[in-house]
Amino acid sequence: GYFEVTADVANYTKAKFLSKVGKRAEVFVRFSTVGGEKGSPDAARDPRGFAVKFYTEDGNYDMVGNNTPVFFIRDPLKFPDFIHTQKRHPATNLPDPDMFWDFLSLTPESIHQVTILFSDRGTPRSYRHMNGYSSHTFKWHNDKGQYFWVQYHFKTEQGIQNFTREEAEIMAGKDPNHATRDLYEAIERAEYPSWRLEMQIMTPEQAANYRFDPYDITKVWPHGDVPPIEVGRLVLNRNPENYFADVEQAAFSPGNLVPGIAASPDKMLQARLFSYHDTHRYRLGPNYQLLPVNAPKAARTSNYQRDGHMRFDGNAGGSPNYYPNTFGGAAPDPDAGEPPFQVSGTAARQPYTHPNDDFVQAGDLYRKVMTDQDRDHLVSNIVAHLGNAQKRIQLRQAAIFYKADDDYGRRVAEGLGLEANQVRRLSAVSQQELVEATKE
């Protein structure tokens, strides 16, 4: 498909593909579920991947996001363990509610994402009817050396549509591939799905004094604080010609950046800058960036990467494979650098807790954003899943819901058949005390 700029953002970024209104860049977009294996139902309760590769004149830029604006964790060292809990038990080879909820209840910063996931937004009706988000904060910088912190919101122009839990369970059995089918057939009918890109933009001064950590992926920037502005439009108008060549071999990375766009102090993002390329080398080989879907389309490749398994082009012939050289080889572009930013504080490997607790935004979502029906479905969905875990884990997780909102925790506790007063008492203690009180 393509991305078209609809607003002037040259004051914020020098990225060439965003340089003027009406400019278009070719894109490749991949949607996915996260927890299930290939062939698992599209209707599963799961975050959806929303990854966009922009083929720009400065090279490829990847926005590797999800359909939720936040994530479960903010510490990258927790990520492998988190993924294990979303997969299968090592002995039974079955999804395990004890693993799932034990980890989440021991990781209270997950409450915001859990609240979104177990709402009906956790089961979108199709890929066309969901939003996409960067989740992370990124840095935009202009040709004057000024920089800004930004977040991306791709808002579906088809409207948000979700399944209820019961509808999703029926669809999972009736047509496990329904979302893939829906997207492919809509494009074949020339009903091209589209998304409106809105950006939240924050100055360094605003970020320094903001009431939430602006780099915490478990938090959002409330729109009342940072109103989004429309920047462009994403349209998908062509299906892959060969699924394996174009989709299975696609490799996205948050580290694929272009001048004008850079990373932020978000530790989860910084870990992803490395881990995605490392994974692609394992999955596709060292020359995965030469595959047509991953190769630049609007820029000339200029680097010193040579050799390696499955190097299927001319391997740059006899051109120099070292830098510096006096034989006309590629050289760094001083204009491609990013402006520095101030850092302070003490570096140490320790758990990070922001003065704002982890429950404020989840509570606001429950009280202020959700309708009565949304809350009813949320509680019902949680009870149906959490009810399969051990009682001690149910107590711990219900107490965390209670910390976000009294009504939230009480309704979950009652749905699970727990004593509401016991859950309320547990919600009043520290996380460490809560863990001690609910150990096996």
Decide: helix, strand or coil at residue 230: strand
Q: How many CB atoms lie within 10 A of CB 329?
A: 16
Instruction: Match 């399944």 to its residue by tokens.
Output: 163
254: left (phi over 0), alpha (psi -120 to 50) or beta: alpha
Contacts 24+ apart (CB under 8 A), 302-309: 302/330, 303/330, 304/329, 304/330, 309/285
User: CA–CA distance from 274 to each of 28, 76, 270 (Å)?
Assistant: 22, 11, 7
Instruction: Match 């492919």 to its residue by tokens.
Output: 184
The span from the CA of 320 to the CA of 402, in Å, is 63
Length of the chain: 440
Closest CA to 158 of 120, 197, 196, 199: 196
User: Is 323 annotated as belonging to a binding site?
Assistant: no
Binding residues: 276
Binding residues for heme: 276
